[in-house]
Amino acid sequence: MALTILLSCFLVLYWLVKYNNYHMTTTTKSVKGMLYKAATGQPVAGAMVMIAEGGEHQDIASQTDAQGTFFLPEIQVPGTYTLLINYSDESRKITVSISKDSILRIPL
């Protein structure tokens, strides 16, 4: 009897959580980052930064400003993503683990 009750409670809880009766919002946020030259520490401007692999993401690409700053579009965090950076006709991939409070600093 107790086992039946426990199992029933588990099933009810499973349905509630999985099918959003009790809404469990997935945390998404835009993530800030900075590109800099590994040798000099100078910011890299005009580079394209985009997500190549990871969770579902908006297919928009960010361009670094004069301070090398870029943003990733709203993504699920925490998560692991592979970024593709295109700069001066060269492309580079880098895998990063992003937490809720991450600010990426990426050397080129």
Nearest distance, CB of residue 59 and other proteins, angstroms: 4
Contact 74, 1 (CB under 8 A): no
Contact 78, 96 (CB under 8 A): no
Nearest distance, CB of residue 29 and other proteins, angstroms: 7
Phi, psi of 82 (to 5 degrees): -105, 120
Pairing state of beta strands 103-107 and 69-76?
A: unpaired
Q: Which of residues 20-59 bind other proteins (CB under 8 A)?
A: 20-23, 25, 29-30, 48-53, 55-59
Q: Which of residues 65-84 bind other proteins (CB under 8 A)?
A: 65, 69-71, 73-74, 84
Q: Is 60 in the site for other proteins (CB under 8 A)?
A: yes
Residue 72's SS3 state is strand
- CA 51 to chain centroid: 8
Contacting other proteins (CB under 8 A), which of 2, 3, 5, 19? 19
Binding site for other proteins (CB under 8 A): 12, 15-16, 18-23, 25, 29-30, 48-53, 55-63, 65, 69-71, 73-74, 84, 86, 89, 91
